[in-house]
Amino acid sequence: MSDQRVDKLWGGRFSESTDAFVEAFTASVDFDRRLYRHDIEGSKAHAHMLAHVGVLSDRECDDIVAGLDEILGEIERGEFEWSVGLEDVHMNIEARLTARIGAAGKKLHTGRSRNDQVATDIRLWLREEIDHILAELKRARRGLLDLAEREADTIMPGFTHLQVAMPVTFGHHLLAWYEMLARDSARLRDARRRVNVMPLGAAALAGTTYPIDRAYAASLLGFEGVAANSLDAVSDRDFAIETCAAAALIMTHLSRMSEEMILWASAQFGFVDLPDRFCTGSSIMPQKKNPDVPELLRGKAGRVNGDLISLLTLMKGQPLAYNKDNQEDKEPLFDAVDTVRGSLRVFADMVPAIEPRRERMRAAAMQGYATATDLADYLVRKGVPFRDAHEVVGKAVRHGIERDLDLSELPLDELQAFSDQIGPDVFDVLTLEGSVAARGHYGGTAPDAVRARIKEARTTLENE
C-alpha cells in the first residue's frame, strides 16, 4: 500500500490518503460551517471546564479562548479559509487554532469527541433558532389578535364542507387561527426543554477517563440539564425530529390559513384584499393580481414535511451509538428551521395588512340559509322536539329555495304554515346579528365573547 497520507487530525492509524472523491463525498463543512459560533462557544466552555478540573493550566485555557475568539473574528470578517480536506466545521476550527497558538491548541480536544461536540453544537444552534421562531410566532399571534379585535363585529359565513353553514364573526374566525399558533408555540416551548440538555462529556460513546465536571460546563453554556447516558447522548436526534415535527405542524397551519386567504382573495369570494406588496402579476395577463405569498406558504408546508420524513427515516435503522448517517441530519434540520422561520416572518408581516371587504362577507352570509339552525333552536325552545324542529326547518328551507328568499325574508304567515309555534319574535333569531349574538358562551362567535377571549389571550401572550 502507498505510504502517502494526508495530514488528518485523526490520520495516525491510516497508511494512505483518502480517495479524493470520498473526501469530498464524506465532508460536511460546506453546510455545517454555519455552526461555527456554537462550535466555538462549546469549545470555550470545554476549555474552561478542563482548566476548572486541572487538565489544562490557566495559561493554556486563556490561550485557547483568545485563539478561538480570534478565529471567530476571522470567520465573521470572511477571512477564514475553509478546507474540505478537514471535513467539517470542528476540525477546520481546531486545525486553525493549533496553527495560531501551537501545542495548547492540540489539548483542546482532551476528554471529548466530535460525536459529543457536534451533538452539543446542534443543540446550541437549535435552542437559539427555536427562540427566534417563538418570537415570530408571538408577533404573528399578536397581529391576529389586533385584527380580530378590529373585526369582532364583522359577520361572515362559517363553512363546513366549504358550504355555508352558520354565520360567524370574522374576529372569531381569526381567533381560530390564533389558537392553532398558540398550540404551536406551546409545542415548541416544550420541545425546547428537551433540546436544552447537554451531551458534552459523553465523548465518543462511553464517556471519558478524565475528571470532567459536566455540570460546570452545562452552567457555562446555559443548559438546563446534562444527558444521563453517554450512548444516547451522542447517537439520538429525537430532539431535532421533535422540532421538525413542530415545524411541520406550524407549516400545516400556515398552509390552511393561506388556503383560506387565497380563496377569500379570489373574485368568486371577494372577502379580502391583499396589499400589492404581498402579490405579483402575470407575465401575459395584465389584469392579474396573484396571491403568491400565501401560495408559497402553502407549498412550503410540503417541503418541511419532507424534512421531517428525512430525519425519521435517517434515524429509524441506526444501532447504538454514533453512525456516519447522522451527518445527514443537518441539512433537513437547517432547511426546516429556515423555512418555518421565514414563513412565519412573512405571515406576521402580512396579517395586519389584510383588508376585509365587510359587505361582501355579509352578503355571502345571507346565502345558503345560514340561520336555519337558529330557527330549529327557536322551535326547540318553544317545546318542539329537536328532530321534529329539524324537519320543519328543512321544509321551510325548501320553500325558501323555491321562492328564492332567505328564511328572514319569508313572510310570517308562510313560516307559520310549517309550525304554529312560530311567532313574530322569530325574526329576532333569523337576523345575522341575532344569530351570532346568541352564541355568547366561552368559545362562541358572539362579538362580546370574541372580545373577552382576545383580552384573555393578550394576557397569556404577554406573560409567556
Please choose, from the candidates 356, 361, 314, the residue with its C-alpha nearest in 3D space to the C-alpha of residue 333.
314
Q: How far apart are CA 416 and CA 339, in angstroms?
A: 58
Whether 161 is catalytic: yes
Cβ pair 107, 46 in contact under 8 A: no
Q: How far apart are CA 210 and CA 417, in angstroms?
A: 92
Name the active-site residue from 17, 57, 161, 266.
Answer: 161
Name the active-site residue from 282, 283, 310, 435.
Answer: 282
Does residue 355 come out as left (phi exceeding 0), alpha (psi in the -120 to 50 range) or beta? Answer: beta
Rg (CA), the chain: 31
Long-range contacts of 170-174 (CB under 8 A, 24+ apart): 170/356, 170/358, 170/361, 171/147, 171/447, 171/450, 171/451, 171/454, 172/148, 172/436, 172/444, 172/445, 172/449, 172/450, 174/144, 174/147, 174/148
Which amino acid is it at 172?
H
φ, ψ for residue 158, nearest 5 deg: -90, 145
The cell 405579483 sits on which residue? 280
Whether 46 is catalytic: no
**Maximum Cα interatomic distance, the chain, rounded to a whole number of Å:** 104
Q: How far apart are CA 195 and CA 247, in angstroms?
A: 14
Q: Residues 7, 8, 10, 15: what is their CA dihedral angle, to the nearest 10 degrees? A: -60
Q: How far apart are CA 192 and CA 152, in angstroms?
A: 34
With 0-12 CB in 10 A as exposed, 13-18 as middle and 19+ as buried, what is 84?
middle
Please choose, from the candidates 176, 142, 144, 145, the residue with its C-alpha nearest in 3D space to the C-alpha of residue 158.
176
Q: What sign has the CA pseudo-torsion 182, 186, 191, 197? A: positive
- Distance of alpha carbon 387 from its chain centroid, rounded? 44
Please choose, from the candidates 447, 412, 446, 405, the residue with its C-alpha nearest in 3D space to the C-alpha of residue 427.
412
Please choose, from the candidates 91, 79, 76, the residue with its C-alpha nearest in 3D space to the C-alpha of residue 26.
91
Q: Could you list the active site residues?
A: 161, 282
